[in-house]
Homo-oligomer: A and B are copies of this chain.
Amino acid sequence: MSSIEGFKSLTSIEEVLREAGNLLTHKPSMIKVHIGEALGRYLAEDIIAPFNLPPHNRSVVDGYAVRSKDTFGASPSNPVILKVKGFVRVGENLGLEVGEGEAVELSTGAPMPKGADSVVMYEKARRVGDFIEVLEPVPPMANVSRVGEDVREGERILARGVRLAPWDIAVLASLGYKSVRVYNVNVALISTGSELVELENVEDARGALESGLVINSNRYSMEGLLRDNGFNPHYLGIVPDDFEAIRNVIIKALESYDAVITMGGASVGKPDYTVKAVKSLNPDYLAHGILMRPGRANSLAVVGGKPVFMLSGFPVASIVGFEAIAKPLLLRMVGGVEEPKPLVKGVLTRRVNTPINVRSYVRVKVYRRNGEVYVEPLALTGSGILSTLVRGNGILIVPENREGYDEGDVVEVILLRSIE
């Protein structure tokens, strides 16, 4: 099945990613944002630590800073008695010094007073007025976090391409970074199809559908997928099935945005204006049809170093096209890597038949019964059937070298939602 009606030849996902990936010469937009706005963005610069963290030795427990050699030989029956000179809290630096036979009480995180080289935990000392009885010896640097132990000055703490997580933002704050350069990948979204109608313009949805109109729902899934992955969707509206109209909007989109996604108009059996329009733009690369199911109508071009993803108008096919083709290439543009996906193994409840040489994405329902995990295939055909994604909670990917899996096979599934 390397050739189907209407397509000259389909290209494998692997080849598309490799060939197109090498031609993505466009550098995506960058902006400097306050770290409070940087969550989920991709770093466009390496972050180098401007100083040590902690900036000084500090205690990792609540207790007493001491000179370790003063405690040698201490035991419950023969405690070492030290005089407590004061109390240092986190953020305080009282200039106290610990001399022989002395101790300073301090809270976790407090800087070590001069002279002290270790900390006795509360539990290992008995307080008697202004004195403590140390019940066991502590070695040098016990319970002490060393200067630079957390972060060393000059160290690369976050690399370009990292997608910023909550704790990354906290590290940036701790290092005094108020703003960072992040990628600002603006993706134009174009819906094509004379049958499409915007949700906003529908008064009576049932009536609209019965009269043959299709509510443009793909716009919402694609906007959501882009946002969930840290890219900025810019929806440019519905373009009718007209070569010139589609061509013009794609040309404009390529001028102003870092990438273009079209939805609809890329199937066989209806005029294939989008691929024709992109072809006329003299693309660096064009894959017309991809060896995936659903989504063999998904196509991809690189024009002037920018990707143009021509996704199927069928809801599931376009989502699969985004995940398999658009997301990896958008990530490549920002130096990002795919985040790990939740996987689960389970027993297949029915045989799944898929074509050889095609990567198949089978929607499944994963459930637990009597302590065993089962995987029930929901639908092999019907890429237009969106509800299987709502009813199901997983995707089984059947690789190109298999013609499916047998009932009873243990398969690994990407979990989209928790198992009930």
Contact = CB atoms under 8 A, between A and B. Distances in A.
Nearest to A174: B217
A290 to B, nearest CB: 16
Contacts of A227: 39
Which has the most chain B C-beta neighbours within 10 Å: A158, A170, A218, A386?
A: A170
A267 interface: yes
- Residue from A39, A109, A173 having most chain B Cβ neighbours under 10 A: A173
A51 B92 CA distance: 67
Nearest to A214: B91
A160 interface: no
Interface stretch (A15-23, A25-33, A55-63): A55-63
Interface in A308-353: 313-315, 319, 337-344
Given A90-B313, A416-B165, A173 B195 contact: no
A368 to B, nearest CB: 13
Contacts of A6: 62, 122
B55 A206 contact: yes
Contacts of A337: 418
A216 B36 CA distance: 12
A47 to B, nearest CB: 9
Contacts of A50: 205-206
A387 B212 contact: no
A339 B416 CA distance: 8
Contacts of A51: 205-206, 209
Contacts of A205: 50-51, 175-176
Interface residues of A, number: 106
A413 to B, nearest CB: 11
Contact of A386 (B106, B174, B224, B344): B174
Given A51-B209, A92-B195, A151 B220 contact: no
Interface string A45-84: 0000011011110001011000000000000000000000
Contact of A385 (B145, B172, B344, B384): B145
A346 to B, nearest CB: 13
Contacts of A202: 176
Interface string A172-208: 1111101000000000000001111001101011101
26 contacts: A5-B123, A39-B223, A51-B205, A53-B209, A55-B206, A60-B382, A90-B193, A91-B196, A91-B212, A107-B267, A108-B269, A108-B314, A111-B212, A145-B382, A150-B387, A158-B390, A165-B224, A165-B417, A168-B390, A170-B221, A174-B217, A174-B386, A175-B205, A178-B199, A338-B418, A341-B342
Given A176-B205, A176-B208, 18 more contacts: A39-B224, A60-B381, A60-B382, A62-B267, A91-B212, A91-B213, A106-B269, A108-B267, A108-B269, A150-B382, A169-B224, A170-B220, A171-B217, A171-B389, A176-B206, A178-B199, A340-B342, A342-B342
